């Protein structure tokens, strides 16, 4: 009889519900892209958290929404695939938005897809709503789906997150740990680095260039002095996009590179030499190789 347990926990919800913030809070390190924009998580990112003798492997799925493009469809397929593969599911709902049409779609799908795996409800951003409204929202949601447990949390501030993590630890199956104790994510460092740069681009560009770019780590060179040289390609769809991204006298791309480099140095604990190159690739949204780099299935975009 083993005294350890381990399992996969899928975080699902609408875009911007706080899944990435919750993942980072659970793990205690930044492993998932967090911005003010919706639909920024493209790949299922696994973050690993320890709670006593239990290892919780979190799958941060892309937000579930009505897909319009191939990339959208692949992202939604990845979200439901992550939920299907998990031992436990946590549905995040934004307290102030309540039961939207999107939430209703997710609840209907959960009734069809969840099977007998435990599903917890986490009502997030509770600081934005009064207590009586929270209670009413919780009761209504629990009439729409038979949740195993309900948690009131603020992923950003950390309220209620420990209670949720402790409960999850009691639910995962007995067995050996799936990852080394000190490992916090199973994404390759090349992909984490690309995500960090993409986050800085998203924050810097705001509405100018929302989802029409992708970042790939083309080269990763560990140097003898302990530093690392990272070359990244940023693909955009039009020449005009390239101009926006570069900015006046290259100011925008320099600022993005500086912010990404500083965060990478903090994350890796060593000096980083980061080089960014922008390329126009009009059809990148329809190239299988780009999806593979993002950890998505190109064929899922056809569904």
Instruction: State the pLDDT at residue 241.
Output: 82
Looking at the structure, do residues 107 and 219 belong to the same domain, yes or no?
no
Query: Taking the model in full, what pTM does it have?
Result: 0.59
Looking at the structure, do residues 18 and 106 belong to the same domain, yes or no?
yes
pLDDT at 41 over 50: no
Which residue, 110, 139, 171, sits at the end of a domain? 171
Instruction: Please give the residue range of the domain that contains residue 225.
Output: 189-302
Q: Is residue 181 part of a domain?
A: no
Q: Closest Cα partner for 216 from 301, 294, 274?
A: 294
Looking at the structure, do residues 153 and 204 belong to the same domain, yes or no?
no
Q: Is residue 270 part of a domain?
A: yes
Q: Is residue 176 part of a domain?
A: no
pLDDT at 79 over 60: no
Sign of CA dihedral 165, 100, 79, 285: negative
Looking at the structure, do residues 26 and 138 belong to the same domain, yes or no?
yes
Looking at the structure, do residues 134 and 282 belong to the same domain, yes or no?
no
For residue 219, the cross-strand partners are 231
197-206 average pLDDT score? 82
H, E, C per residue of 245-289: HHCHHHHHHHHHHHHHHHHHHHHHCCCEEEEEEEEECCCHHHCHH
What percentage of the chain reaches a pLDDT higher than 70? 72
Looking at the structure, do residues 158 and 237 belong to the same domain, yes or no?
no
198-210 average pLDDT score? 73
The CATH number of whichever domain residue 285 belongs to comes to 3.30.300.20
18-29 average pLDDT score? 81
Looking at the structure, do residues 162 and 25 belong to the same domain, yes or no?
yes
Looking at the structure, do residues 162 and 295 belong to the same domain, yes or no?
no
Q: How far apart are CA 241 and CA 252, in angstroms?
A: 12
pLDDT at 84 over 80: no
How many domains, the chain?
Answer: 2
Q: Is residue 179 part of a domain?
A: no
Instruction: State the pLDDT at residue 67.
Output: 44
* More reliable by pLDDT, 168 or 291: 168
Instruction: State the pLDDT at residue 62.
Output: 53
Which residue, 136, 171, 206, sits at the end of a domain? 171
Q: Is residue 247 part of a domain?
A: yes
Residue-wise pLDDT tens digits, 131-184 = 999 999 999 999 998 999 999 999 999 999 999 999 999 999 999 988 777 665
The CATH number of whichever domain residue 100 belongs to comes to 3.40.50.300
What percentage of the chain reaches a pLDDT higher than 90? 27
pLDDT at 85 over 70: no
Instruction: State the pLDDT at residue 261.
Output: 93
pLDDT at 80 over 80: no
Looking at the structure, do residues 86 and 220 belong to the same domain, yes or no?
no
Instruction: State the pLDDT at residue 217.
Output: 87
193-206 average pLDDT score? 82
- Rounded mean pLDDT of the chain? 78
Looking at the structure, do residues 118 and 20 belong to the same domain, yes or no?
yes
pLDDT at 122 over 90: yes
């Amino acid at each position: 009889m083993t005294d350890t347990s381990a399992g996969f926990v899928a975080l699902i919800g609408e875009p911007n519900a706080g899944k990435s913030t919750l993942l980072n809070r659970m793990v205690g390190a930044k492993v998932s892209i967090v911005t003010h924009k919706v639909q920024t998580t493209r790949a299922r990112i696994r973050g690993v958290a320890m709670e006593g003798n239990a290892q919780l492997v979190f799958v941060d799925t892309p937000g579930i929404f009505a897909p319009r493009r191939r990339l959208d469809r692949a992202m939604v397929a990845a979200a439901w695939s992550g939920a299907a593969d998990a031992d436990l599911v946590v549905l995040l709902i934004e307290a102030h938005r309540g039961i939207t049409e999107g939430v209703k779609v997710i609840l209907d799908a959960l009734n069809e897809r969840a099977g007998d795996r435990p599903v917890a409800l986490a009502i997030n951003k509770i600081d934005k709503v009064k207590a009586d409204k929270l209670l009413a929202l919780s009761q209504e949601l629990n009439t729409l789906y038979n949740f195993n447990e309900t948690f009131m949390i603020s992923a950003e501030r950390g309220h209620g997150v420990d209670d949720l993590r402790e409960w999850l630890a009691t639910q995962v199956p007995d067995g050996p740990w799936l990852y080394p104790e000190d490992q916090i994510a199973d994404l390759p460092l090349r992909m984490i680095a690309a995500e960090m740069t993409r986050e800085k681009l998203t924050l810097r560009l705001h509405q100018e260039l929302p989802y029409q770019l992708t970042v790939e780590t083309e080269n990763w060179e560990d140097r003898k002095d302990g530093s690392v040289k990272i070359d990244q390609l940023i693909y955009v769809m039009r020449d005009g996009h390239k101009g926006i991204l570069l900015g006046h006298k290259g100011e925008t791309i320099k600022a993005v590179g500086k912010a990404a480099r500083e965060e990478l140095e903090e994350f890796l604990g060593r000096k980083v030499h980061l080089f960014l190159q922008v390329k126009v690739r009009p059809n990148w949204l329809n190239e299988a190789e780009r999806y593979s780099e993002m950890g998505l299935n190109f064929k899922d975009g056809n569904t």
